[in-house]
Copies of this chain bind each other. A is one copy, B any other.
Amino acid sequence: MDVTQLGEFGLIARIQQTLSSPSNPDVLVGIGDDVAVLRADSDRVWLATGDIQVEGVHFMQAAVTPFDLGRKALAINLSDIGAKGGRPRFALVSLALPRGLTVEFVDELYKGLKREADDFGTVIVGGNISRSPSGLFVDIFLLGDAPRNNVVLRSGAHVGDAILVTGTLGDAAAGLALQSDPGLSATPTYTLTAKAKLALPTPRVREGEWIGASHLATAMLDVSDGLASDLGHICDASQVGARVLAGTLPVDEENRALARSAQGDEWSFALHGGEDYELLFTAPAANVQAIVGGLANATGTGATVVGEIVPVDAGRRLILPIGVDVPLGSRGWDHLADQKRGFQ
C-alpha cells in the first residue's frame, strides 16, 4: 500500500505500534504528540520537537524570501514549544541544499533563523548540511525546557471546560488562497494581513509560557493543521467531546467572505485552514476571566472563548449562528497526502 493512501495520521498510528515499548519513566510524552516531554530532573522537563519546510510542499522559492523562510522554519517549532508552556532554548538546523542554490541565499536564510532565534531567546547550537538531489529542505530540531508543573498537555481537558483560542483564525489560509487564486480579492489592508500571516506567523511563545506558568489551563496545543483537526487531538487525548460556536470564532469578516468565495463555506478557513499558529487551549469556566485578562495584561494578546468541552458521547459539533448543529468535521491539512482530508 502506498503511504499516501494511509495518510499522515494513519501512518503515525502504525509507527506507534512498531515502536511500542515498556513505558519509560523518563518519557512523560512520547510518539504521537508534536512535542516530546522528557524528564530532566525531579522538577524540570526537556521539551523536544522538530518540523520541516520542504520546497514544493511547504513553500515555493519564488514566493518567499530566504530571510522569511528562515524565520518561519524556526517559528513553527517555537510555536510547538510555546504551546506546551515551555521556553525554547536550543535549535539544530539540518539543511539539504540543491545544486545551484547560492551562498547568498543560505546567508539570508541563516540571518532569518538568527533573527527569529534572538527574538525568542533561543540559540542555534548546531546542525548538519547535506546535498539534496532536488529542492531545498530546512529541517529544525528545537529543545526547550520548563518546570514540570507548568507543562500543559493535550490530555487534560475536562467536561465543562471552556475552549479558547488566541488571536484570529484563518488568515494564513486566506493568504494562501489570495496568493494562488487570481480570481479572489480583498481590501489591500486585509490582503497584506493575510499574506503576512502566511509568510511569517508569530509564534505564541510568551503567551504559552505565561499560560503554563499561570496553572489556569487544562490542555493546550498550537493550531497548525486547522482548529477542527487540532481540537480533535485534544478530544482524542482527553477523551472528551467539543461544542464550538461558529459565531464566536475570532475571524475577520473579509476572511469569511473569501472562504465563502473560495470554498463555499464562510467558516472553512477558520476551522480547516492550516498554519494559524495560534494557541488553542481549555480552562475551567471559573478561570476564563483570569486567563483572558492576565494574558492580555502580560503579553498584549487577546484570547476568545469559542466553545466548551462536552462528554465524549456528545461528539464534536459546530453550532452555526442560525442554531443548527453540524459535525465539526476534521478536514485539516494532511502533510503526507498534501490535500485536505475529507472524512466525517
Q: Is the CB of A36 within 8 A of B2?
A: no
* Known contacts A11-B103, A19-B114, A55-B133, A139 near B94 by CB under 8 Å: yes
**Cα(A114)–Cα(B20), bound, Å:** 9
Beta-carbon nearest neighbor of A35 in chain B: B126
Q: Is A46 an interface residue (CB 8 A)?
A: yes
**Cα(A279)–Cα(B139), bound, Å:** 28
Contact with B along A2-45 (1 / 0, CB 8 A): 11111010011011001101001011001111111010110000
Q: Is A167 an interface residue (CB 8 A)?
A: no
Q: Is A141 an interface residue (CB 8 A)?
A: yes
Q: Is the CB of A99 within 8 A of B2?
A: yes
Q: Is A119 an interface residue (CB 8 A)?
A: no
Which of A104-112, A295-303, A320-328 faces chain B? A104-112
Contact with B along A116-160 (1 / 0, CB 8 A): 001000011111111111110101010100000000000000000
**Cα(A41)–Cα(B39), bound, Å:** 13
* Known contacts A18-B110, A41-B41, A129 near B11 by CB under 8 Å: yes
Q: Is the CB of B94 within 8 A of A128?
A: no
Interface size counted on chain A using CB atoms at 8 A? 78
Q: Is A48 an interface residue (CB 8 A)?
A: yes
Q: Is the CB of A36 within 8 A of B133?
A: no
Question: Which B residues touch A106, using CB under 8 A?
Answer: 3, 11, 14-15
**Cα(A21)–Cα(B122), bound, Å:** 11
Smallest CB–CB gap between A254 and chain B, Å?
A: 31
Q: Is A338 an interface residue (CB 8 A)?
A: yes
Smallest CB–CB gap between A4 and chain B, Å?
A: 6
Q: Is A50 an interface residue (CB 8 A)?
A: yes
Smallest CB–CB gap between A203 and chain B, Å?
A: 16
Question: Which B residues touch A118, using CB under 8 A?
Answer: 21
Beta-carbon nearest neighbor of A28 in chain B: B125
Q: Is A260 an interface residue (CB 8 A)?
A: no
* Known contacts A94-B139, A137-B96, A141-B50, A8 near B125 by CB under 8 Å: no
Q: Is the CB of A92 within 8 A of B48?
A: yes
Most buried by B among A15, A32, A49: A15
**Cα(A57)–Cα(B128), bound, Å:** 14
* Known contacts A6-B103, A101-B2, A125-B48, A130 near B54 by CB under 8 Å: yes
Option from B31, B100, B104, B126 in Cβ contact (under 8 Å) with A127: B31
Question: Which B residues touch A104, using CB under 8 A?
Answer: 1
Q: Is the CB of A107 within 8 A of B18?
A: yes
A41-72 contacts to B (CB < 8 Å):
41, 46, 48-52, 54-58
Beta-carbon nearest neighbor of A4 in chain B: B99
Beta-carbon nearest neighbor of A49 in chain B: B126
